[in-house]
Chains A and B, each alone.
Chain A
Amino acid sequence: MIALPPPKPDVMVRRAPIVAGLRGLVSGDGVIADALRLKPYETDALAIYRQPPLAVVLPETTEQVAAVLRFCQAHGVRVVPRGAGTSLSGGALPLEDAVVLGLMRLNAILDVDFADRCATVQAGVTNLAITDAVADRGFFYAPDPSSQLACMIGGNVNMNSGGAHCLKYGVTANNLLGLRVVTIDGDIFDIGGAHLDAAGYDWLGLITGSEGMLVVVTEVTVRILRAAEGTRAMLAGFRSNAIAGACVADVIASGIIPVALEFMDRPAIHACEAFAGAGYPLDAAAMLIIEVEGAPAEQDFLCARLAEICRRFDPISLRVASTPEESAAIWKGRKGAFGAVGRISPDYFCMDGVIPTGRLSETLDRIGEMADEAELPVCNIFHAGDGNLHPLIMFDAHDAIKFARAEKLGADILKLCVAMGGCLTGEHGVGIEKRDLMGVQFSAIELDQQRRIKSAFDPDWLLNPAKVFPLQPAS
């Protein structure tokens, strides 16, 4: 179990007056303090770590958020911001002495502007709700994390979330125009707006992906894009990871940037096929899902070129969808991947390392060897076009030895990613999960530099304080 900082004794003894003070700021059921109702907030999507908070507060306006933060600042109370609680890195894991600041009641879509191609929404609006609000005019919000039905845009901003389609459309940071934020002092201000370039330092870029450590985001202005005329998926199965990896490199080198380029290895193919019955090639060692977009004739042209590239690699199967239903069938297994793995294993870690795409096959080989040594099954499902690996390590958390082995295997895989020239996390964030590995990627000087920037926003380290940076100061 990962270490959390000791609770502040002066806060713990003042729990009752702190809760009463919060009730003076947010009325009714917006402050939660009884043990049973705190239960849903004691973890997020990294559910093996649990810690009930001091209290939960659910403000309904930016002004209430500011009042809560001013109050917490004045009383030295730590604050853990939370959206939908879908973080896979434990970004919303509470601390015993912290107030969880839930943003889910700020859930209004404030403005949609098709002429200027932007939408302003509150932080608690779900990712998919933005697309739903603009889809009737043929528009969409591009980043599409797997949890998009549940995850909230405020959390997406704080984790700089990606998704299967960011190879073409970029991650959250590339699709934002403006934010309304609240500092730990309770100051409210706007960053950016509905325009593309801002003056001064790039606060939008710095706050995006800052994992709730700098400010609390209450409103977000995103770019909305007009969708292409149509999309089409194709599927290709290969005899080895190395062959599929080489095919990925040739696709990228061909000048075609597919909208999505997903990779599944043999264990993943089997797990997904058993779950979804998508018709995946069970005899293949690795499989690619490639998606292109455009008018039907453009799809024909691109799929023909891509099929020609795939054929150079002696595919076991090659299937180009000819109808939207066939495209949906190809995606069906991939989209159900987490459910599929959940069905065959009581627990799993979903890792998130990134490697240079040229080192795909050697990295996958090494992960296979490491999994064998740890005697734990691992399947790989990931965004091949950008090298963002998602090894899923399967284990039973009730078996303490396997749990410990799974944690170590996860850490070793991420260290391998860094050694290959990559990084610890591509889209899930550092959170609590990868916090103690930060020294693998950054020097003590670099971590101290980042800590000083955190301090510039939050001098007393009250905002999500136990995340991202190792607890022991680097110097």
Chain B
Amino acid sequence: MNVAAPADEAGMAAVIRDAYAAREPLLVRGAGTKSAMLRPVQAAHTLITRNLSGITLYSPGELVFSASAGTGFSAIETTLEAAGQHMIAEPPDFSRLLGATGEQTLGGIVATNFSGPRRIAAGAVRDHVLGVRAVNGIGETIHSGGRVLKNVTGLDLCKLLAGSHGTLAVLTEITFKVLPAPEDSCSVVLRGLEPPAAVAALAAAMGSPFGVSGAAHLPPSAAARLGGSQSLTLARIEDFTASVAYRGEKLCTALRDFGRVEIWPAAASRPAWASIRDAHVLPADPNHAVWRVSVRPSRGPGILAAAHDAGAVGYLDWAGGLAMLVGPAAEKLHIAITDAVLRAGGMWLVLRTPAAWRASAAMVPPEAPALAAITRRVKAALDPAGILNPGRMFAEV
């Protein structure tokens, strides 16, 4: 296999132009920490963005940050932290779950569009992408958006490329909005609730005026990894210290009817939310499959129950709207989960599964025929020869 890892955008475009001319597919990746997810790509050549590295713009007073796609996430986090700011969508690191080593890149974070617990209050990774530079499947360099906070000029290719898993164009540089990191945080915690009561409590928290920025339910198996002996239901508040104290107390009062309420200060709350974000509360077994499910929050408990009855364990984030599930890579379990999602109305994605299954089964729900036709035509509009990560999302795209 040939591997190309250009260090600049022009080099990236040259590799893609050659591949387009030769009609030879490329496996496109950053650090490869998420290569184990979705479908495997059959390609003779690999194109790595890792060497497109470096922060190209940081203007804290304008809340704007740009970096080349291959820039490692820790360098970005460190730079933001030094200025008291953070990446709004709290992107997760699934390395442990996916059995990956190395450090995810900014390009990988945007190309997969996985968002952390703060998604429910502050939006997804894609919501804060202000601009992108990319090379399409012909080898043409294109940009969309820019470095300003509002922009509706032309079609929004930032959102189209975010979450497209490198199948439409190769991101080379990304500009995103950042915000001041909160001065303080806490979690209001209930113990021992069953999922339906937990999600009702979290709905009450989200429906309160206290600015909840995280809302998760960990059944006993997941709670055990945080040292709990029974289920944990957590609602997070992030703000100035005085506001955190005030809102924490008010939220405790608001949730009193659901059980005995306690407050975890930042020292206990922060690591708990990092574990929830990165799915460290789930077992990581290479023989198991992992599903990520998004439904309307009130349907989360039903998904958890259906998965549990068929042999999986998991937990709920996003006030019930996100279920992370782990279990044997068995068809019976997969059908139980996907059927439950179909009934609830929502989406599922197989985050990890043994190799044999990956190549032969759908890893995301199939699209309706009219939409599938548009998917193929849009793919062709950006990558007419089908050389960028072919088959990664859908078998025929």
Q: Which residues of A contact B (CB under 8 A)?
A: 113-118, 137-139, 159-160, 162, 166-167, 170-171, 173-174, 183, 185, 187, 189, 191, 193-206, 208-210, 226-229, 249-250, 252-257, 294-295, 297-298, 301, 354-358, 383, 385-388, 421-430, 434, 438, 441-443, 445-447, 449-450, 452-457, 468
Bound complex: CA of A468 vs CA of B152, how far in Å? 11
B182 nearest in chain A by CB position: A255
Bound complex: CA of A254 vs CA of B60, how far in Å? 10
B361 CB–A CB distance under 8 Å: no
Expressed in whole angstroms, the minimum distance between the Cβ of A86 and any Cβ of chain B is 15
Tell whether, in the assembled complex, residue B148 and residue A226 are in contact, meaning their CB atoms are under 8 Å apart: no
Instruction: Name the residue in A160, A205, A446 with the highest tally of chain B Cβ atoms < 10 Å from its Cβ.
Output: A205
Which chain B residues in 365-397 approach chain A with CB under 8 Å?
365, 367-368, 370-371, 374-375, 377-378, 380-382, 393-394
With contacts A200-B364, A449-B136, A450-B157 known, is A423 near B203, CB below 8 A?
A: no
B156 CB–A CB distance under 8 Å: yes
B292 nearest in chain A by CB position: A197
Tell whether, in the assembled complex, residue A174 and residue B146 are in contact, meaning their CB atoms are under 8 Å apart: no
Tell whether, in the assembled complex, residue A355 and residue B148 are in contact, meaning their CB atoms are under 8 Å apart: yes
Tell whether, in the assembled complex, residue B378 and residue A201 are in contact, meaning their CB atoms are under 8 Å apart: yes
Q: Which residues of B contact A (CB under 8 A)?
A: 59-64, 84, 113, 115, 119-120, 123-124, 126-127, 136, 140-144, 146-160, 162-164, 168, 179-180, 183, 200, 203, 206-209, 211, 240, 242-243, 246, 250, 294-298, 318, 321-322, 345-349, 364-365, 367-368, 370-371, 374-375, 377-378, 380-382, 393-394
Tell whether, in the assembled complex, residue B154 and residue A441 are in contact, meaning their CB atoms are under 8 Å apart: yes
24 A-B pairs within 8 Å (CB atoms) are namely A116-B298, A117-B203, A170-B123, A189-B368, A197-B119, A197-B124, A197-B347, A201-B168, A202-B126, A202-B160, A206-B155, A210-B156, A226-B206, A228-B209, A256-B180, A356-B59, A357-B62, A358-B59, A385-B149, A422-B146, A441-B154, A446-B142, A449-B140, A453-B378
Tell whether, in the assembled complex, residue B346 and residue A193 are in contact, meaning their CB atoms are under 8 Å apart: yes
Tell whether, in the assembled complex, residue B375 and residue A201 are in contact, meaning their CB atoms are under 8 Å apart: yes
B208 nearest in chain A by CB position: A226
User: What chain A residues lie within 8 Å of B348 (beta carbons)?
Assistant: 199
Expressed in whole angstroms, the minimum distance between the Cβ of B33 and any Cβ of chain A is 19
Partner of B206, one of A117, A298, A430: A117
Instruction: Name the residue in B123, B150, B240, B349 with the highest tally of chain A Cβ atoms < 10 Å from its Cβ.
Output: B150
* A201-B393, A294-B243, A301-B242 known, 19 other contacts, Cβ within 8 Å: A114-B207, A116-B298, A137-B207, A189-B371, A196-B318, A199-B348, A201-B168, A209-B155, A226-B208, A252-B63, A253-B61, A255-B180, A387-B150, A422-B148, A423-B148, A423-B151, A442-B143, A453-B378, A455-B377
Bound complex: CA of A257 vs CA of B86, how far in Å? 13
Bound complex: CA of A422 vs CA of B144, how far in Å? 12
Tell whether, in the assembled complex, residue A298 and residue B243 are in contact, meaning their CB atoms are under 8 Å apart: yes
Expressed in whole angstroms, the minimum distance between the Cβ of B38 and any Cβ of chain A is 10
With contacts A174-B123, A195-B294, A203-B371 known, is A454 near B155, CB below 8 A?
A: yes
Tell whether, in the assembled complex, residue B152 and residue A160 are in contact, meaning their CB atoms are under 8 Å apart: yes
Tell whether, in the assembled complex, residue A205 and residue B347 are in contact, meaning their CB atoms are under 8 Å apart: no
With contacts A257-B180, A298-B246, A423-B153 known, is A138 near B364, CB below 8 A?
A: no
Bound complex: CA of A204 vs CA of B123, how far in Å? 14
Bound complex: CA of A422 vs CA of B147, how far in Å? 7
Tell whether, in the assembled complex, residue B150 and residue A427 are in contact, meaning their CB atoms are under 8 Å apart: yes
User: What chain B residues lie within 8 Å of A210 (beta carbons)?
Assistant: 155-156
Tell whether, in the assembled complex, residue B151 and residue A453 are in contact, meaning their CB atoms are under 8 Å apart: no
Tell whether, in the assembled complex, residue A429 and residue B152 are in contact, meaning their CB atoms are under 8 Å apart: yes
User: What chain A residues lie within 8 Å of B153 (beta carbons)?
Assistant: 423-425, 430, 434, 438, 441-442
A254 nearest in chain B by CB position: B180
Instruction: Name the residue in A115, A191, A434 with the highest tally of chain B Cβ atoms < 10 Å from its Cβ.
Output: A115
Q: Which 10 A-B pairs have CB atoms at the shortest separation, nearest pair first?
A: A205-B159, A426-B150, A456-B377, A187-B370, A386-B149, A452-B381, A255-B180, A194-B296, A199-B364, A199-B347
